[in-house]
A and B are shown apart, each in its own frame.
Chain A
């Protein structure tokens, strides 16, 4: 996986430090992360059936081993313009333990970062809606944006 931007070894925190682990993925030029506990599994190319009359950010419904899940275009949901094809389904769970699929472009590494390096998001983040961002974390080469699943899976307008 040469394309992986960050090698997990680089990021290994000092022993004994409190850490949190994130599943990371790419949308456009952003590297996003979700707490590993919220991610159930990752799937490729689940066929999406469109649901007319649904909000734009809902791409449709998919069949995950007999369960019908709603598939969200994550980029569109958080107000990001991303061009790439979204072929990965990141299956996450919401508060009611219902599973939802988030469509993303590319899956990154599993990252373990020290809790101390997680920061409140800045007032303004170019290209996306701040309310969806829970923390940011400065990695050596880039910024990891940790998303707020709860907000993303909240129904809106």
Chain B
């Protein structure tokens, strides 16, 4: 059924309901002609009928309804009292309408027949008369009598003629059946031709005329559609589900008994049950057109308000979906369409300039594919500018420039779905309603669907939403906790992990984490949330995704994956966020369905908190001491070196023959670009790299530039604290040394080395007057590293080994910015910050904390003590940027 057919069907259903009601009400009215309530109701029904008929362009129908409404309005306003004559003609109007509706149902168009036109004329004359009567011009019923007679006579003649010709008796007996009526109509043309004959009959006819004319086309409207309460359908669904369960049990029993007769009976029951279930499922299906048909208006309004021209094409509006999904999909779709018009489609001028038609095209398309419904929103606008997206993401701190460099276009486009992202240069009143694409994504994922974007810069964007046909049945994983079963929707499931030993679970404070292929994932123990006892034996880890973040759920046991029927929870249980509903298991018992998003909220994970936790883990792990993953390597086998692993973007091997000397510099080819190679022995007093067939390369990235360090061998990577000994080497490029695995290991200051290789490597901002930074840090490693990179960024840096020393230096000298570690002996960063803030002279000093510590309370405390910004020590880029921002703010304030 096409979308138009569908709308027509709706109209017909409504019209029939209305007509049914009219019949009853007219009868009522005849009994009680003064009943204004009924009159009003009749008037309304007729009015609606007129409106919708006009909408569809059914002229005759509209006309009849129009004049009937006219008459009714006089009655309603009490200008004329409904007498038998009036009611009679109104009823005939209803009958004519019925006949037209019946015809419409069959032929999808109005009948082309003079009967209706004639009646229309009669009705309009009558309406005129009533209008006059209402004005008091005509008192009696005289004209009323005449006119129908006249018009009827001329009309009825041919009818009667035919009657007499064919089966006079029956026809005269005023056949009320539709068949007879149709026969009349069919023959009308013939009659007209032969009408001049048989005058005697005409006379007879004249007598009968008034009577026959009153016999409006009598039609019994057959009901093809009825309205059913949705509750009833839901209940039917439930019962069908139960029936399936009962059937399953029966099949099982029949299998055990192994009786042929019983088997056969069970089989047929089984078939019928399945079919019944499917059919009932279908009753809940609605065409997506019910949502799509809202869009022409939305698109029009949007296009107008943005000054754009947009042509909307709707395809596949008859694609059917479960009604619950249809409801839920409306808002996300609206948002996507808004986005397309607001961000995608260019203004007409712009379009013409680049050779596109001025009118943009937006296609809204739905179709079935593999048991799912695909909805596509396609525009021929400017497409998504990947670089712009990356830039924005970096600005918003969602990714680092290094990450951006490594990202594929697809990954970059996916950034749009991150919380806190919005590509609109300015927040417009269209897309910028505080709802981001992240919300759209979350909502679609809640429905068990997914969303992806394909975009070609300059030529358009296609957003593709996949959603299941029905919400009622979802695949789910069944897990066990505290002896009860819980269902987890499969959409949220990423993978399953078996925990071998407690060692694999890391604890930081009260939180637990799991390291999954290097990624740190927070853990939740289901038993702890549910308050069930045997939580410490949880060994099965279910990795879940909320769409924004991943977390692990520890459960007692993982069972099978099943298709479950989702049932709502009662009102008394609605407030508990961790459940999405309940389902009935094969054995008839109920199991709760976990809401993964609700679960993560309940535990209180927030995306940014998680990012902090990640950062924390990356640079120091597990115990309270500052620890760091480092990479151990050799240049010459006799000496061991170390670099923090997180500074290295990539490790690779290279054959000696691939090293090239170009323009006096050693380079390697990497991803189609020449990357300079640095040999550490050129900058540090160390043993040179021996000739090898194959070398190892450590890649570093800074903004978009890459450099590779050539080394002999990667020894190991391990986690260690960074207590360095600074006594032995006082050489630029060496941070210090420390004994690792029984060998003295030199920690290389990679930033310094790169700067030595190329002093202009780190694009140094033009700093007019040197800003002075005081950096308080107890770890020698960081003290050196951070100091060096701040210096190379053009600042004057003085260091202090603890908070107290820093405080003393602040008293003596002038600084523009204080950067401090949090955890330090003697006086920690918080105390230092507090002291600074309470000192009048220093109150305006910007303070940045460099941390490896994290957590909500630390963050909050930092803010309370007056620390302006927080950064992670090893994130050179971010630290320098933040320092510049803080200093700029300070200058701005000072000049203000």
Smallest distance from the beta carbon of A131 to chain B beta carbons, Å?
Answer: 17
- Interchain CB contact under 8 A, B568 and A68: yes
- Interchain CB contact under 8 A, B589 and A47: yes
Closest to A67 in B: B238
CB neighbours of B591 from chain A (8 A): 49
Closest to A156 in B: B572
Closest to B572 in A: A70
A155 on interface, CB distance cutoff 8 Å: yes
Closest to B234 in A: A67
Q: Looking at B572, B573, B584, which has the most chain A CB atoms within 10 Å of its CB?
A: B572
Bound-state CA distance A100–B574 (Å) is 14
In B568-613, which residues have CB < 8 Å from any A CB? 568-573, 575-576, 578-579, 581-584, 588-592
A29 on interface, CB distance cutoff 8 Å: no
B765 on interface, CB distance cutoff 8 Å: no
Contact pick for A155, options B482, B571, B579, CB 8 Å = B571
Bound-state CA distance A51–B590 (Å) is 10
B140 on interface, CB distance cutoff 8 Å: no
In A35-51, which residues have CB < 8 Å from any B CB? 47, 49-51
Bound-state CA distance A68–B590 (Å) is 7
Number of chain A interface residues as a range: 20 to 34
B432 on interface, CB distance cutoff 8 Å: no
Contact pick for A51, options B482, B573, B588, CB 8 Å = B573
- Interchain CB contact under 8 A, A54 and B588: no
Contact pick for A67, options B567, B588, B592, CB 8 Å = B567
CB neighbours of A98 from chain B (8 A): 570-571
Bound-state CA distance A66–B244 (Å) is 10
Smallest distance from the beta carbon of B533 to chain A beta carbons, Å?
Answer: 12
Smallest distance from the beta carbon of B575 to chain A beta carbons, Å?
Answer: 7
- Interchain CB contact under 8 A, B570 and A100: yes
- Interchain CB contact under 8 A, B590 and A49: yes
Bound-state CA distance A51–B573 (Å) is 9
- Interchain CB contact under 8 A, A72 and B572: yes
- Interchain CB contact under 8 A, B568 and A49: no
Bound-state CA distance A94–B581 (Å) is 19
Bound-state CA distance A135–B171 (Å) is 71
Contact pick for B569, options A50, A55, A61, CB 8 Å = A61
Contact A66/B578 with A47-B589, A100-B572 known, Cβ cut-off 8 Å: no
- Interchain CB contact under 8 A, A52 and B573: no
Contact A54/B589 with A65-B239, A155-B571 known, Cβ cut-off 8 Å: no
Closest to A155 in B: B572
In B503-558, which residues have CB < 8 Å from any A CB? 529-532
A80 on interface, CB distance cutoff 8 Å: no
B241 on interface, CB distance cutoff 8 Å: yes
A10 on interface, CB distance cutoff 8 Å: no
Contact A53/B572 with A47-B589, A67-B238 known, Cβ cut-off 8 Å: no
A153 on interface, CB distance cutoff 8 Å: yes
In B227-276, which residues have CB < 8 Å from any A CB? 238-239, 241-242, 245
Bound-state CA distance A42–B458 (Å) is 68
Smallest distance from the beta carbon of A136 to chain B beta carbons, Å?
Answer: 26
Label chain B's interface by main secondary structure: mixed
A81 on interface, CB distance cutoff 8 Å: no
CB neighbours of B584 from chain A (8 A): 63, 66, 68
Bound-state CA distance A66–B240 (Å) is 9
- Interchain CB contact under 8 A, A66 and B573: no
B278 on interface, CB distance cutoff 8 Å: no
- Interchain CB contact under 8 A, B590 and A63: yes
Smallest distance from the beta carbon of B486 to chain A beta carbons, Å?
Answer: 10
Contact A68/B530 with A53-B576, A155-B572 known, Cβ cut-off 8 Å: no
Smallest distance from the beta carbon of A86 to chain B beta carbons, Å?
Answer: 17
- Mark interface residues in A70-85 (1 if CB within 8 Å of B CB, else 0): 1010000000000000
- Interchain CB contact under 8 A, A63 and B592: no
Smallest distance from the beta carbon of A76 to chain B beta carbons, Å?
Answer: 13
Bound-state CA distance A58–B589 (Å) is 17
Bound-state CA distance A157–B241 (Å) is 34
- Mark interface residues in B468-490 (1 if CB within 8 Å of A CB, else 0): 00000000000000101000000
CB neighbours of B529 from chain A (8 A): 52-53
In B14-28, which residues have CB < 8 Å from any A CB? none
Bound-state CA distance A55–B568 (Å) is 18
- Interchain CB contact under 8 A, A51 and B579: yes
Smallest distance from the beta carbon of B235 to chain A beta carbons, Å?
Answer: 8
- Interchain CB contact under 8 A, A153 and B572: yes
CB neighbours of A72 from chain B (8 A): 572
Bound-state CA distance A146–B576 (Å) is 31
A96 on interface, CB distance cutoff 8 Å: yes
- Interchain CB contact under 8 A, A61 and B582: yes
- Interchain CB contact under 8 A, B239 and A68: no
Bound-state CA distance A94–B588 (Å) is 24
- Interchain CB contact under 8 A, A61 and B238: no
- Interchain CB contact under 8 A, B573 and A70: yes
- Interchain CB contact under 8 A, A94 and B571: yes
CB neighbours of B579 from chain A (8 A): 51
CB neighbours of A153 from chain B (8 A): 572
Bound-state CA distance A60–B120 (Å) is 66
Smallest distance from the beta carbon of B329 to chain A beta carbons, Å?
Answer: 25
- Interchain CB contact under 8 A, B571 and A96: yes
- Interchain CB contact under 8 A, B571 and A65: no
Bound-state CA distance A67–B239 (Å) is 8
Bound-state CA distance A148–B870 (Å) is 58
A147 on interface, CB distance cutoff 8 Å: no
Smallest distance from the beta carbon of B232 to chain A beta carbons, Å?
Answer: 12
Q: Looking at A47, A55, A68, A70, which has the most chain B CB atoms within 10 Å of its CB?
A: A68
Contact A63/B238 with A68-B568, A94-B571 known, Cβ cut-off 8 Å: no
A103 on interface, CB distance cutoff 8 Å: no
Smallest distance from the beta carbon of A36 to chain B beta carbons, Å?
Answer: 22
A145 on interface, CB distance cutoff 8 Å: no
A144 on interface, CB distance cutoff 8 Å: no
A62 on interface, CB distance cutoff 8 Å: yes
Smallest distance from the beta carbon of B614 to chain A beta carbons, Å?
Answer: 29
CB neighbours of B569 from chain A (8 A): 51, 61, 68, 70
CB neighbours of B239 from chain A (8 A): 65-66
The 5 A-B pairs of least Cβ separation, nearest first, read A70-B570, A66-B242, A52-B530, A66-B238, A68-B567
* Residues of chain A having any CB pair with chain B under 8 Å: 47, 49-55, 58, 60-63, 65-70, 72, 94, 96, 98, 100, 153, 155
27 pairs, CB–CB < 8 Å, chain A vs chain B: A47-B590, A49-B582, A49-B591, A51-B579, A52-B482, A52-B529, A61-B570, A61-B590, A61-B592, A62-B590, A63-B584, A63-B589, A63-B590, A65-B238, A66-B238, A66-B239, A66-B241, A66-B584, A67-B567, A68-B570, A68-B583, A70-B570, A70-B572, A94-B571, A98-B571, A100-B570, A155-B575
* Residues of chain B having any CB pair with chain A under 8 Å: 238-239, 241-242, 245, 482, 484, 529-532, 567-573, 575-576, 578-579, 581-584, 588-592
Extra contacts, 16 of them, besides A61-B582, A67-B238, A68-B582 (Cβ < 8 A), are A47-B589, A49-B484, A52-B529, A52-B530, A52-B532, A54-B572, A58-B572, A62-B590, A63-B584, A63-B590, A65-B242, A66-B241, A100-B570, A153-B572, A155-B572, A155-B575
